Amino acid sequence: MQNVRIFFIKRDRAKYISHLDMTRLFQRAVRRSGITMWYTEGFHPHLYMTFALPLALGTESNCESVDMRLIDDISFNEVKDRLNAVLPVGIEVIEVSEPVMKASVISSSMYLVRLYGVADKKTAMDAFLAQDEIMAIKKGKAGEKLVNIKNFVYGYEVNADGSDLCLWLKLASGNQNTLNPQLLIGVFSQQHNVSVEGAFLLRTKVLCENGEEFK
Amino acid sequence: MNLKEKIEKVIMRVQKPARYIGGELNSVVKDKEKIDVRFAFCFPDTYEIGMSHLGIKILYHILNSKENIWCERVFAPWFDMKEEMQKENIPLYALESLDPVSDFDIIGFTLQYELSYTNVLYMLEMAGIPLYSRDRKELKNLVVGGGPCACNPEPVADFFDLFMLGDGEDVIVELCDLYREHKKKGSSKQEFLLDAAKIEGIYVPSFYDVTYNEDNTLKEITPKYEGVPKTVTKRVVKDFDKTPYPDKFVVPFIETVHDRAVLEVLRGCIRGCRFCQAGFIYRPFREKSVETLCRQAKELCANTGYDEISLCSLSTSDHTQIESMLSELTKWSDKEKISLSLPSLRVDNFSKEVLDGISGIRKSGLTFAPEAGTQRLRDVINKNVTLEELHNTCRIAFEGGYTGIKLYFMIGLPTETEEDVKGIIYTAQSVVNLFYDLENRPKGCGVTVTASVATFVPKPHTPFQWEAQDSLETVIHKHDVLKGVGRSKKITLNYHASNTSILEGVFARGDRRIGQAIYEAYKNGSYFDSWSEGFDFEKWQAAFNKCGLDMAFYQGRHRSFDEVLPWDHINYGVSKKFLERECKKAYNAQTTEHCRKSCAGCGANKFAGGACSAEC
Ligand code: SF4
């Protein structure tokens, strides 16, 4: 048995698949691929799998990962190819490797956000992100709480690109703190009365405490 | 902003965005430039319900296997999505291309239950397509219908250009081929329809004149043109075993009602229960060979990744090879760790072998349908099951470790008395007693017997098509009688009185005039009538009043055998004479043997491809 970390992208229409539904999706994909993976024991055996990080509905990603335990004696490349042959459009395995880090070391994610047609709001966005305090209601395990989400913004860059506004955001991710970029731009859209619906959001990197990419 | 961008803009605001965006595994995307006929397959209910339905999977597969046809799926947007679509001017669109439904050549609705009729109008309106057939002048946007409710399509006849009757597999392809020819020629809609009416199984309602008597009953339904058949006969596929069956299903991302592989084992029914419309309109009985079934089961699970497969039919245990079928299938499912479920078992031929075949796989509970509470009434409805047989079966089940039994009953059946109603509780009680009398019953746990009591709605093409349906007051009274009978705590009694069954009854046996009331009710805000969120009986009463129509005339009236019925020109293979014979036998509590014992002469043996089991 071999632990494998399956890195995949989630793009286009696949971004509407919820985290819960991703579990079922991978269960079925593994069955279709014919690869033997390890199942939990007990009364209701199910495919063992753990995702490194949840991804918010509506956000695309280049760097998702899920861990499984491979039973078949086949190469990582074969796992990748056989899964890709049976995954729905928008989900694609880019790499299969041996897990290097524990998911608990993840501390932040990089996001690219494109807000369509609001390039003229660049100054407003700069000012918004420069504030010391951005208060928002966050839903957590213990219910809703008003928090200063600026504490979870670790870095940013704002650029106008044609008529669009592009943001690079480094936001808290992981067990400790997590900030969903949709929440951040939602607060901006409320304060500045601009529509950010249909915005393009892409997670580009998952980073560890020491700044290294999660592997 | 293009349509896809608009859709993406709104779907994050609604519940379950994945309902509205397609992209699922095995959904079919083609290059529309290379397509001759674009077919929008509309299911007039939510995504979760529509995606659980087998017919759409079969026809989607068949149409998309043709190079020049592209079939896409369309479901009814839920209330929240409707609001968003209207705000942003998003027309109803299909899930594969995300193109507006108004771009499609053919718009097909499957009519699975009567209460979905307003959703047909709702979807057409959301698509920006005129509701009435007469207001759609072009060949494009041809609106067609099919499914079991097409056996009396009259209530919705004015909204449809044509209906396909019976098995859809062959006729839907013939329809598309004919459409392509006419599209190429630049024919008018009328020219096309005249040709379409010549295809067996296609009914063009606008080609018939309907006249009425002074007492509001039907006088005549006659073809307007030469070459239009006086009666339209349903289609039956030539060779059921070889008829294409999907080797893959579209696998939804979100959980649907039946989120599993489904294998159609047989079509039609040999039993002839007199209340059951499906038992008549799908005749004759046809079954797939064990070999075909095993191949299809394997392919389906391999291509979808489902770990559950359910066998689908009106009565799976009537398969002539039931035992070898189950042993072959379980051999495979055990090995692949696939769970096999068998929803429709009959009480009378439920053997220990069958139970062994499914045991170890599903021990959650068993369901049986005695349907009526006394032997007399069971004879009336031709449910050839005795109390003894029910007890035998329950004993086998209890001894096999089952402790939960679900019993289905109906109230409102013809000739029913209070004794029959009370008999429902007595029957359930006798099963409880049986359990405690058994020495080798499962130890350590009690028994639960659930009695589910539905309301009978008389349906066309059945021996009870002439019967009066109970009013809501009568139904409520009968429920009181049920409650009044003392019963053990081990019995859970489920029943529900609702005006929905009244409306269902009106639509089921309605004539063409009903269409007006459907239109009025829809315009007044009625849609999603099969959902409590949508159903509002007052709106329906207002609509019927406005149109000068009386619901009780359609639903609560006993008809005479010589009355012209709205579906007399629609032939589903079972003759009116046969149904009349069966109805008279019912009045005498006389049963009819099933088709394998002897042929009752229903008429369905005339279809090629459906050799009936008995020597007819
Ligand atoms: S023709 Fe006879 S055997 Fe065939 S379905 Fe009808 S009653 Fe049954």
The ligand 1 atom at the shortest distance from the C-alpha of residue B610 is 4
Angle, in degrees to the nearest 10, between helices B499-508 and B514-523: 140
Q: What is the model's pLDDT at position A172?
A: 94
For A207, half-sphere exposure in the C-beta direction (CA atoms, 13 angstrom radius) is 17
B397 pLDDT band, cuts 50/70/90, is confident
The 3-state DSSP class for residue B335 equals helix
B13 part of contact set with chain A, CB < 8 Å:
yes
B9 part of contact set with chain A, CB < 8 Å:
yes
Question: B575: Cβ below 6 Å to ligand 1?
Answer: no
Distances (CA, A) of B395 to A158, B36, B358, B402, B489: 74, 59, 16, 9, 20
Min mean pLDDT across A17-26, A195-204, B192-201 is at A195-204
A90:B23 CB<8 A: yes
Integer Cα distance of A176 and B511 in angstroms:
66
Question: B573: Cβ below 6 Å to ligand 1?
Answer: no
Give me the count of residues in chain A: 215
The answer to whether B526 touches B534, Cβ cutoff 8 Å, is yes
Q: What is the model's pLDDT at position B340?
A: 87
A29:B251 CB<8 A: no
The mean pLDDT value for A91-103 works out to 95
Of B11, B23, B251, the CB nearest to A89: B23
Question: B283: Cβ below 6 Å to ligand 1?
Answer: yes
> Complex ipTM, two decimals?
0.89
The domains found in chain B, sorted by start residue, are 3-233 (3.40.50.280), 363-457+468-513+549-557 (3.30.750)
Highest mean pLDDT among B306-315, B349-358, B433-442, B522-531: B522-531
The domains found in chain A, sorted by start residue, are 2-99 (3.30.70.580), 104-208 (3.30.70)
The ligand 1 atom at the shortest distance from the C-alpha of residue B613 is 3
**Of A25, A32, A57, A83, which to mutate for an interface test with B (greatest number of B Cβ within 10 Å)?**
A32
Residue with the smallest CA separation from ligand 1 atom 5 is: B284
Min mean pLDDT across B39-53, B257-271, B505-519 is at B257-271
Chain A residues lying within 8 Å of B260, measured CB to CB: none
Q: What is the model's pLDDT at position B74?
A: 98
B522 part of contact set with chain A, CB < 8 Å:
no
**Which residue in B has a C-alpha nearest to residue A58's C-alpha?**
B12
Of A16, A24, A31, the CB nearest to B11: A16
* pLDDT at residue B131 greater than cutoff 70: yes
Q: What is the model's pLDDT at position B363?
A: 46
What is the maximum span of chain B, computed from C-alpha positions, in angstroms? 77
B308 part of contact set with chain A, CB < 8 Å:
no
Q: What is the model's pLDDT at position B609?
A: 53
pTM of the model: 0.93
B247 part of contact set with chain A, CB < 8 Å:
no
Q: With a CB-CB cutoff of 8 Å, which residues 95-134 of chain A face chain B? A: none
Integer Cα distance of B101 and B134 in angstroms:
19
Q: What is the model's pLDDT at position B323?
A: 87
Chain A residues lying within 8 Å of B12, measured CB to CB: 57-58, 197
Chain A residues lying within 8 Å of B10, measured CB to CB: 197
